[in-house]
Chains A and B, each alone.
Chain A
Amino acid sequence: GAVVSQHPSWVICKSGTSVKIECRSLDFQATTMFWYRQFPKQSLMLMATSNEGSKATYEQGVEKDKFLINHASLTLSTLTVTSAHPEDSSFYICSATPNQGQPQHFGDGTRLSIL
């Protein structure tokens, strides 16, 4: 089946640091990937749609300059949390699908803790 991998699985860093999270489709190409954020005991909230070769589409209320998305190849999208602060601490999850007719497959998430 389609496999989506995220790296790192968890990261702890100081306030003000920028953190990059990678999302890879391991056995298929993905022109579109999705980034979600999940706070403790809450549901997943879609942050943005990552489009290969073009700009990402951000959901309302998500700061595009804060959460930089780059989808430079058909198997890799990156999310960079710039100048991270404690309130950015969360569980970040990506998803992708081989084609429009198939279900989304999710990575195992990245737990980000900002001290």
Chain B
Amino acid sequence: DAKTTQPPSMDCAEGRAANLPCNHSTISGNEYVYWYRQIHSQGPQYIIHGLKNNETNEMASLIITEDRKSSTLILPHATLRDTAVYYCIVRAWMNTGFQKLVFGTGTRLLVSP
């Protein structure tokens, strides 16, 4: 499984964009980059995923570099409810094709008023 590296913590002011980086220099050509977040004492919540192209949904945008060795999750207007641990995961393929997610330590994002 390709490993990921994220900063342990980040701060962001409410209303500002939060840019969370992730390095995955050993990613393989058929591996996707997934982002999840975990709010305290809850299960992880899916945010977004991508392979090569930048992606955007109602929650966030995902920017993947051309060499695919790193990516950035962007929360365009962070709110207090976005305070959580954000996990960048490169999906490992199982023989059955179902996703086996390997979680790293993530980035603890603190959004302040």
**Of A43, A100, A107, A108, the contact of B98 (CB 8 Å cutoff):** A100
Residue A8 lies at the interface, judged by CB distance under 8 Å to chain B:
no
- Hey, which chain B residues are within 8 Å of A45, CB to CB? 103
Say how far B80's CB is from chain A's closest CB, in angstroms: 20
Is B99 in contact with A104, judged by CB distance below 8 angstroms?
A: yes
| Chain A: interface residue total (CB-CB under 8 A) | 24
Residue-wise, chain B 90-109 has the 8 Å CB interface mask toward A (1 for contact) of 00001011111111111000
Residue B44 lies at the interface, judged by CB distance under 8 Å to chain A:
yes
Is B98 in contact with A32, judged by CB distance below 8 angstroms?
A: yes
Q: Name the prevailing secondary structure of the B interface residues.
A: loop
Residue A89 lies at the interface, judged by CB distance under 8 Å to chain B:
no
Given A103-B34, A106-B45, A111-B41: A34 in contact with B101 (beta carbons within 8 A)? yes
Q: How far is the CA of A6 from the CA of B43 in the complex (A)?
A: 10
Residue B49 lies at the interface, judged by CB distance under 8 Å to chain A:
yes
**Of A36, A104, A107, the contact of B46 (CB 8 Å cutoff):** A104
Is B87 in contact with A95, judged by CB distance below 8 angstroms?
A: no
A: residues with CB less than 8 A from B are 4, 6, 31-32, 34, 36, 43-46, 49, 91, 93, 95, 97, 100, 103-109, 111
